[in-house]
């Protein structure tokens, strides 16, 4: 019989700074798992960015949902919005050399998430996007 992974669920309204509620929940989960300080900080930063993307890019006034799925060796975090979706292949990778002098300085969220987490997957359609981020408990 398969073991069911404990999951913490959080629903956030699209309100200023609500990403901090997700960050704090993530930190409680990380502490429970014994995730070290560096990995916890990286995971927290990635959650902030994923929530901001969900808030800002989804064009949705709906709530966003976050699932923290706990297992022995990793923490999987899913951030789901009900926005219009996006095509990951069309997202430009930001570069500081190009950002200096450019009008649009933002657009760093996905790069940060990908650098800070061990793996990231995207599932997007016209009815919403789920970003699934994994942080391993130990370095592989």
Partner 1 sequence: MSDFSLTTKKEGEILIIKTDGYLNNVGGEKIAETCYENIDSGTKNILIDLENSKVVNSIGVSILIEIIEKLQEVDGQLGYYNLAPIVEKTFNIMGISKYSKVFSSEAEAIENIK
Q: How far apart are CA 40 and CA 29, in angstroms?
A: 9
Q: How far apart are CA 131 and CA 79, in angstroms?
A: 5
- Which residue matches tokens 């450019």? 102
Minimum distance, C-beta of residue 96 to partner 1, in the bound complex (Å):
3
Minimum distance, C-beta of residue 4 to partner 1, in the bound complex (Å):
32
Binding mask 96-135 for partner 1 (x = CB under 8 A): xx-xxx---xx-xx-xx--xx-------------------
Give the residue with the Cβ less far from partner 1, 72 or 139.
Answer: 139
Minimum distance, C-beta of residue 107 to partner 1, in the bound complex (Å):
8
CA distance to 30, 35, 43, per residue, from 138 (Å) = 13, 8, 13
Which is nearest to 67 in space by CA: 58, 54, 80?
Answer: 80
With binding defined as CB under 8 A, does residue 31 bind partner 1? no
Q: How far apart are CA 69 and CA 51, in angstroms?
A: 17
User: 32-71: which residues touch partner 1 (CB under 8 A)?
Assistant: 38, 41-42, 44-45, 48-49, 52
110: tokens are 């996905």
With binding defined as CB under 8 A, does residue 94 bind partner 1? yes
With binding defined as CB under 8 A, does residue 16 bind partner 1? yes
CB count in 10 Å sphere of residue 18? 18
Give the residue with the Cβ less far from partner 1, 55 or 68.
Answer: 55
Q: What is the CA radius of gyration of the chain?
A: 15
Q: Point out which residues bind partner 1 (CB under 8 A).
A: 16-17, 19-20, 23, 38, 41-42, 44-45, 48-49, 52, 94-97, 99-101, 105-106, 108-109, 111-112, 115-116
């Amino acid at each position: 019989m398969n073991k069911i992974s404990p999951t913490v669920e959080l629903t956030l309204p699209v309100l200023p700074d609500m990403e901090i509620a997700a960050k704090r929940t993530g930190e409680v989960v990380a502490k429970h798992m014994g995730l070290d300080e560096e990995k916890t900080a990286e995971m927290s930063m990635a959650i902030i960015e994923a929530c901001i993307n969900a808030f800002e890019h989804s064009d949705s006034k709906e709530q966003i949902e976050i699932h923290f799925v706990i297992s022995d060796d990793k923490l999987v975090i899913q951030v789901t919005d009900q926005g219009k979706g996006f095509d990951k292949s069309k997202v430009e990778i930001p570069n500081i050399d190009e950002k200096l002098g450019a009008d649009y300085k933002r657009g760093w969220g996905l790069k940060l998430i990908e650098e800070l987490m061990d793996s990231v997957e995207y599932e997007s359609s016209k009815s919403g996007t789920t970003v699934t981020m994994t942080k391993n408990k130990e370095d592989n």
